[in-house]
C-alpha cells in the first residue's frame, strides 16, 4: 500500500469512492481493489508516463481534499517509481469523464469508465464472493501482467479498451489514445 501511519486507509477509501460511490458495491470488490493497489503500474509506451503521472497526482488531490500538507504526503509515500495499477485506472476513469465525456444530463460516469475497464480486462468477475485467496490473487496478477506487457490482441482484447475496428494495432498505442479511439468508435459514430 502507499501510505503509512493511517493515511493509507484514508487514501484508499477516498480513491475507491471516486469509482465506487455506492458503498455496498465497493464492499463487494475490496479484495480486487486491494490487489490492484498492490501492483505497480509500469509501461512500455513512453506516452503512458502521462498515465503514471496522473495516477500519482491523485495523491496531491487527496492531500488538498483532506487538508493535509503535500509535504506530509511526500514524507509518507513509499518511494515507488510508479503509481499503482488502481491509481492509474482511477485517474484514467476520471480523465475520460472530465476531458472526453462530461455531460451534465448523464451525471458523473467516472464509475462507468472504471467498470468498463474492469470488464475489458476480465476482472469484474472477481468480487469478494468469488475470491479465492492465493488462486484469485495469482489470476489477477497474471491478467494485469499481460495487460502491462501488452500481451493483448491487436483489437485491444485483454487490455483496457476493445475496438471493433482499431485504427492501428492496440499493442503499439498509448493508453490515452486507446481511450480516445474507444470513445470515438462507441459514442461518436
Residue-level pLDDT at 106: 75
pLDDT digits (tens, 9 = 90+) for 2-61: 445 577 788 899 999 999 988 888 889 999 999 999 999 999 999 999 999 999 999 888
Task: Indicate whether 1 belongs to any domain.
Answer: no
Distance separating alpha carbons of residues 179 and 173, to the nearest angstrom: 10
Distance separating alpha carbons of residues 148 and 88, to the nearest angstrom: 12
Residue-level pLDDT at 3: 46
Task: Indicate whether 2 belongs to any domain.
Answer: no
Q: How confident is the model at residue 137 (pLDDT cuts 50, 70, 90)?
A: very high
Distance separating alpha carbons of residues 78 and 8, to the nearest angstrom: 10
Task: Indicate whether 110 belongs to any domain.
Answer: yes
Mean pLDDT, the chain, whole residue set? 89
pLDDT digits (tens, 9 = 90+) for 93-111: 999 998 887 676 777 789 9
Distance separating alpha carbons of residues 172 and 155, to the nearest angstrom: 11
Residue 96's domain comprises 7-187
Cell numbers that stand for 48 in this block: 503512458
Proportion of the chain above pLDDT 90, given as a percent: 67
Can you tell me which residue has the cell 501510505?
3
Q: Domain tally for the chain? A: 1
Other Cβ atoms within 10 Å of 131 Cβ, number: 19
Residue-level pLDDT at 5: 56
Task: Indicate whether 11 belongs to any domain.
Answer: yes
Q: How confident is the model at residue 69 (pLDDT cuts 50, 70, 90)?
A: confident
Helix 7-19 and helix 85-95: axis angle, to 10°? 40
Residue-level pLDDT at 1: 41
Proportion of the chain above pLDDT 70, given as a percent: 93
Cβ burial of 72 (10 Å; 0-12, 13-18, 19+) is: middle
Distance separating alpha carbons of residues 162 and 66, to the nearest angstrom: 36
Task: Indicate whether 136 belongs to any domain.
Answer: yes
Q: Is the pTM of this model over 0.85?
A: yes
Distance separating alpha carbons of residues 80 and 83, to the nearest angstrom: 7
Lowest mean per-residue pLDDT among 77-86, 118-127, 157-166 = 77-86
Distances, alpha carbon 43 to alpha carbons 33, 48, 164, in Å: 20, 6, 24
**What is the DSSP code string of 2-55?**
-BSTTHHHHHHHHHHHHH--SHHHHHTTHHHHHHHHHSBP--SSGGGHHHHHHH
pLDDT beyond 50 at 119: yes
Task: Indicate whether 176 belongs to any domain.
Answer: yes
Other Cβ atoms within 10 Å of 111 Cβ, number: 19
Amino acid at each position: 500500500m502507499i501510505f503509512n501511519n493511517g493515511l493509507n486507509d484514508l487514501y484508499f477509501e477516498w480513491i475507491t469512492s471516486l469509482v465506487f460511490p455506492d458503498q455496498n458495491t465497493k464492499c463487494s470488490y475490496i479484495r480486487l481493489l486491494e490487489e490492484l493497489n498492490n501492483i505497480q503500474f509500469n509501461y512500455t509506451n513512453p506516452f503512458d508516463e502521462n498515465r503514471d503521472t496522473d495516477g500519482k497526482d491523485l495523491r496531491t488531490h487527496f492531500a488538498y481534499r483532506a487538508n493535509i500538507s503535500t509535504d506530509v504526503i511526500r514524507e509518507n509515500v513509499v518511494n515507488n517509481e510508479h503509481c499503482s495499477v488502481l491509481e492509474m485506472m482511477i485517474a484514467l476513469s476520471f480523465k475520460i469523464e472530465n476531458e472526453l465525456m462530461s455531460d451534465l444530463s448523464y451525471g458523473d460516469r467516472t464509475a462507468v469508465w472504471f467498470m468498463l475497464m474492469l470488464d475489458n480486462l476480465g476482472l469484474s468477475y472477481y468480487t469478494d464472493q468469488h475470491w479465492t485467496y492465493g488462486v484469485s490473487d495469482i489470476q489477477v496478477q497474471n491478467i494485469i501482467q499481460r495487460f502491462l506487457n501488452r500481451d493483448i490482441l491487436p483489437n485491444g482484447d485483454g487490455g483496457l479498451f476493445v475496438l471493433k475496428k482499431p485504427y492501428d494495432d492496440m499493442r503499439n498505442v498509448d493508453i490515452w489514445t486507446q481511450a480516445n479511439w474507444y470513445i470515438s468508435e462507441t459514442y461518436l459514430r
